[in-house]
Chain A
């Protein structure tokens, strides 16, 4: 199966697309591979940075004596081991030239729906902020609506109604049936009364 330059990958079915990406990888090789390795390298550096920071922070705590260990002993021990392991990982990742066994991951990497991933993460991060402002039902509706639109673009009114259904259903289930206290504005008490 030959890969035509400029052909749209999005219009193809999944197995065919994966096969094409794999073939392209085999042909032009290291470009896709370096993407996967880059991710490993960034993660390794981040972990190393965290362990260094953790270890340095643990020095500020009291170590105590062998008879009576202080609050800083365990963090120092964990930090030391963590730094050792992350350094080893860093050396391993940066020194690794092998590309074997990474092809599957790389091929999948070409398929990733970053828009949806970033969208969902943004919704989760934004939820605590808007929860304080708009209270439960409106915040949940906003988050559900945005996620529905991101995951499958469809008629906004359909996503809105579905999101509204999710927000109202979750309020009724958790507030009425499970007795949980959820942030309430003006809508929630009305719904609570309607719910019986």
Chain B
């Protein structure tokens, strides 16, 4: 523990350098802005800015992205509470009670509770992140290729299971992502795969244009079709920001519960901040002595979910820093940024690049402090950003995507890939296919293939030797259970429950 504290102090000496403070501030402001703006979320912003981080060092890039990710969660709640418009999906739940509080004249109190909850949760989750990442990385140093293969496969399976929507569609997207990673030269034999004589394809399809197309361009195209419909913006006065003693008393336990729940859910593959906010809302409602208040402006319905989605951000960093495997689309982008700077995350990262790891951790604390200082006094300014007309904002985003992709390799092929995946992303979203499994599979895919081939090489071609190792088997069982339990619940337990309660059973969702 003393070693952790000492390393953290070392991290603060790095994070307190003026340049890194500047990156943290820019990240926090940018994150809050994209959080406020519906249409473009923190993932989109991180994707667009990915290639621009090339001019920074890896630590600077990580600090900027951490600021954007945490800031996005803060900003999203502002418009949810004041305008009933969730700036990003993790703030959807906050609309329910947050906006009701605004209608009752308690919007300012909801904003403060949300900001304080986010700060507490963010701080606790960073604490959890630094302890857990160090511990897991130590354990993971003993992992071999079969374990990494199992983690990769199970990560993708859990992501498919927990992404929401149709499992079949998520599975197809995941396989499409895996298929894209097979384009280009085989890293072990040097054989060309699916290049069809196109020289540029020999190096494979870059992750960045695909991610920018799916998250940036597709997002723009989806936003184009939505009509601008802005309610009058409510101004919040300073004195309205202070919650009453009763409101503090009710929201504080919800913040703590939300923080722990969010942190644990953040470790699970999938859109963890979204899942965390929904689970927290449901649990707060169940635990409340006045559940009838939920939906009518219960402060716990703001405090819990807002704490949970921020805590999930800290949790989501653990698999990336400790294992080198991203479990959420945002972490896939962060991994992309690390790789652009030649940093390969994995169990060795904390030992090999302690400056980067501890610097980022320390900057997260600083960023969280900046966010709470910025968000409350500037709430009216941030809400005013919504007044920027869509017809100016969208071309700017498209230009950023185009320049960002071009600046990466000065490759015209990358620009075509951007256009193609922008279109594909838009079309597929329209029919219910989510881009997250594809993007994650593109990042994890090569690791899965490498570790499978290495594993079979080690075990002399024995598949049982790859699967039946204790850690691997445990992971496969967990992954299988995520499918089996809901199926058993639907086929065996729920019909009885429905019969008793007189409900009709819906057909199985594929």
Give A residues with C-beta under 8 Å from B: 14-15, 39-40, 43, 47, 50, 54, 57-58, 61-62, 65-75, 78-79, 81-82, 85-86, 88-89, 92, 105, 108, 111-113, 116-117, 120-121, 123-125, 127-128, 131-132, 140, 143-144, 147-148, 151-152, 162-163, 166, 170, 174, 178-183
Given A66-B456, A152-B389, decide whether A75 and B194 contact each other with a Cβ distance below 8 A: yes
Cβ-neighbour of B452 out of A69, A92, A113 (below 8 A): A69
* Distance between Cα atoms of A61 and B194 in the complex (Å): 9
Q: Which residues from A are CB-within-8-Å of B402?
A: 124, 127, 140, 143
Cβ-neighbour of A124 out of B191, B217, B510 (below 8 A): B217
* Distance between Cα atoms of A89 and B167 in the complex (Å): 11
Decide if B394 is an interface residue (CB 8 Å cutoff).
yes
* Distance between Cα atoms of A127 and B225 in the complex (Å): 22
Q: Which residues from B are CB-within-8-Å of A70?
A: 189, 191
Decide if B171 is an interface residue (CB 8 Å cutoff).
yes
B456, A67: Cβ atoms under 8 Å? yes
B395, A75: Cβ atoms under 8 Å? no
Main SS of chain B's interface residues? helix
- CB proximity of A143 to chain B, nearest CB, Å: 7
- Residues 389-408 of B, flagged 1 when their CB comes within 8 A of A and 0 if not, give 11110111011111100110
Decide if B412 is an interface residue (CB 8 Å cutoff).
yes
**In chain B, residues 175-229, which have Cβ atoms closer than 8 Å to a Cβ of chain A?**
175-176, 178-179, 182, 186, 188-189, 191, 193-194, 217, 220-221, 224-225, 227, 229
- CB proximity of B55 to chain A, nearest CB, Å: 5
Q: Which residues from B are CB-within-8-Å of A105?
A: 430
Given A120-B221, A143-B402, decide whether A148 and B395 contact each other with a Cβ distance below 8 A: yes
A131, B391: Cβ atoms under 8 Å? no
- Residues 128-147 of B, flagged 1 when their CB comes within 8 A of A and 0 if not, give 00000000000000000000
B399, A108: Cβ atoms under 8 Å? no
- CB proximity of A109 to chain B, nearest CB, Å: 8
- CB proximity of B151 to chain A, nearest CB, Å: 17
A71, B396: Cβ atoms under 8 Å? no
A124, B418: Cβ atoms under 8 Å? yes
Cβ-neighbour of A125 out of B416, B453, B510 (below 8 A): B416
Interface residue total, chain B, C-beta cutoff 8 A: 64
Q: Which residue of A lies closest to B415 (CB)?
A: A128
Q: Which residues from A are CB-within-8-Å of B175?
A: 78, 81-82, 85
B395, A117: Cβ atoms under 8 Å? no
Q: Which residue of B lies closest to A69 (CB)?
A: B453
- Residues 143-155 of B, flagged 1 when their CB comes within 8 A of A and 0 if not, give 0000000000000
* Distance between Cα atoms of A111 and B400 in the complex (Å): 27
B415, A127: Cβ atoms under 8 Å? yes
B395, A125: Cβ atoms under 8 Å? no
B423, A121: Cβ atoms under 8 Å? yes
B403, A111: Cβ atoms under 8 Å? no
Cβ-neighbour of B422 out of A62, A65, A72, A124 (below 8 A): A124
Q: Which residues from B are CB-within-8-Å of A67?
A: 456-457, 460-461
* Distance between Cα atoms of A76 and B419 in the complex (Å): 28
Decide if B490 is an interface residue (CB 8 Å cutoff).
no
Q: Which residues from A are CB-within-8-Å of B396?
A: 166
A113-B225, A120-B221, A121-B423 known; 5 new pairs, CB 8 Å cut-off, are A39-B431, A73-B453, A125-B419, A143-B395, A147-B394
Q: Which residues from A are CB-within-8-Å of B240?
A: none
* Distance between Cα atoms of A13 and B123 in the complex (Å): 44
- CB proximity of B466 to chain A, nearest CB, Å: 11
**In chain B, residues 488-510, which have Cβ atoms closer than 8 Å to a Cβ of chain A?**
510
Q: Which residues from A are CB-within-8-Å of B54?
A: 180
B431, A181: Cβ atoms under 8 Å? no
